[in-house]
Amino acid sequence: MGNGLFDGFQPQSAESWTEQLIKDLRGEPLDSLMWKTQGVSGKPFYTSEDLDFELFNYNNFNKDSALFGDRFWVNYQPVKVVDLKEANEKILSTLQNGANGILLEVNQIPDFGKLLAAVQPEYCHLSFQLQSSIDSGLFIQNYETYLNSLEIDNDKISGFISGSGFVSTQLRNIKAIEVKLSNKGSLALEIALALAGMIDRLDQLTQSGKDIQDALNQVFFRVTVSKDFFLQIALHRAIRRLFSTLSVSYGVESAKAEIISEAGPWDAEIDDPHSFMLHATTQAMSAIIGGTDALIVHPFYNVFPSKHGLAERVARNISSILSEESYLNKMVDPAAGSYYIEELTNTLYQDTLNLLQKIEAAGGLSKIDVEQFKSGAL
C-alpha cells in the first residue's frame, strides 16, 4: 500500500490560516471577510477547532431501504383540482411518470371517489392544499370516510394536509399540524416564532385529551427553500434537531421531524427564465442534503407557457435525477463532518433555542407582542 493522500501535508491550525489571510489581505482588515445573512453570522474559514460542541446525529435512514434506498424523499407534483375527471387523469398520468406523491390543490371538498378513481392510496403519498374557505374538520372527516370505504390498512396511508389550521386526524400517518417557514428575514427568529406557535397548538391538543406522542407525530414542517445553498442545508438540519429537543422535553424520544421542502413558484422577473431550472436544482439539492422527507418542485409554467406537460415533467425529473443519477438516495447525511455546515447548523440551533426559551418564559406566543419581540424590545 502506498502512503496516504495527505501524508505529505502538515496539519494547519486556525492560527496559521489567520496569519496567511492577513498576509494575503495586504493591509485590509480581517473583519472584511466576515459575513452575515438572514441573521446568521459567519467567518471566512472553519477548522476542527470550531467543533467545540457535541455533534448531533442527523442520519435520516429510510425504514424501507431495501425498496427505496437508504435515503428516500417523496417526489411531489402539485395538481390543481378544478374538474374532477381532468384532475383524476392528471393524477394517474403523473404517478405513472416519475412522481410518487401528489399535492392536490382544492377549493372545496371533492367527491373523493371520482377524484381518486383507480388511485391506490397505500402505494403513493396523497396530500392536500386547502383553501381557507374549506371546513378542514369536515374535509378530513370525508377523507377518512372515503379511505375506510376502501377497506385498506390506514397505517399505510401517507401524506399531509396543508392550510388546515388547528386540526387533527385519526389517520396516524397523515400530518395535519403544519409549521410553515417562508425563509424571510432572520432565520432563527422565524423558526422560533413558528415553533412557539406549534407548542401552543400542541398544548391545546393535549389539554383536550389528545396523546402528546400522537400529536407530535402529526406535525410537519413546510419550508420554502431559498437560494442560499449552505444555509438551507443547515436550516433543514437545525429543524430536525430542534424538533428532537422539543419532543424530548415532552417526554417523547421517538418523534421524528417531517420536513416538506418547496422550490418555487417561478414567477419572478428575470432575464432568462430558463435559469429557474438551475435555481430549482440547487434548491432541491440543499433540501435533500439537509435531510428533507419530501420535495415539491413547482412546474415551470412561465418557462414553457404553451407546454404545461413539459413544464411539469422537467420539474418532476429534477428529483428523479438527483435520486437515481446523482445517487443522493444512497447518502443519509452527506454534510456530516463539514466544519462549516456543522458549525452553521449549531449556531442556528442555539440561536433559535435561545429565542424560543425567551418566548416560553414570557408565557408563550399568545402572551407576547410579536412585533415588539421581533424588534428586540422584549
When pLDDT is averaged across residues 5-32 and rounded to a whole number, the result is: 87
105: confidence class by pLDDT, cuts 50, 70, 90: very high
What's the pTM? 0.92
Predicted pLDDT at 127: 97
Predicted pLDDT at 2: 56
Question: Looking at the predicted structure, is the pLDDT value of residue 10 above 90?
Answer: no
277: confidence class by pLDDT, cuts 50, 70, 90: very high
Q: In the chain, pLDDT over 70 holds for what percent of residues?
A: 95
Q: Would you put residue 316 in left (φ > 0), alpha (ψ -120 to 50) or beta?
A: alpha
Distance in angstroms (rounded) separating the CA atoms of residues 319 and 75: 6
Question: Looking at the predicted structure, is the pLDDT value of residue 64 above 80?
Answer: no
Task: List 93's β-bridge partners, or say none.
Answer: none
Q: Which amino acid is at 372?
A: Q
The closest of 143, 173, 175, 177 to 155, measured between CA atoms, is 173
User: Residue 225 burial by CB count (10 A; 0-12/13-18/19+): exposed, middle or buried?
Assistant: buried
* Cell 443547515 found at: 234
Predicted pLDDT at 165: 66
Average pLDDT across the chain, whole number: 91
Question: Looking at the predicted structure, is the pLDDT value of residue 31 above 80?
Answer: yes
When pLDDT is averaged across residues 343-368 and rounded to a whole number, the result is: 94
Q: Would you put residue 136 in left (φ > 0), alpha (ψ -120 to 50) or beta?
A: alpha
Query: How does pLDDT run across 190-226, given as a tens digit for each residue?
Result: 999 999 999 999 999 899 888 999 999 999 999 999 9
Question: Looking at the predicted structure, is the pLDDT value of residue 378 above 70?
Answer: no
Query: How does pLDDT run across 231-269, given as a tens digit for each residue?
Result: 999 999 999 999 999 999 999 988 889 999 999 999 888
Query: How does pLDDT run across 167-177, given as a tens digit for each residue?
Result: 667 788 899 99
Query: How does pLDDT run across 114-163, given as a tens digit for each residue?
Result: 999 999 999 999 999 999 889 988 999 999 999 999 998 988 999 999 98
DSSP state of 49: G
Instruction: Decide which of 185 and 221 is more confident.
Output: 221
* Cell 489581505 found at: 25
3-state SS record for 293-332 = CEEEECCCCCCCCCCHHHHHHHHHHHHHHHHHCCCHHHCC
Predicted pLDDT at 65: 64
Predicted pLDDT at 344: 96
Predicted pLDDT at 66: 60
Predicted pLDDT at 191: 97
Predicted pLDDT at 112: 97
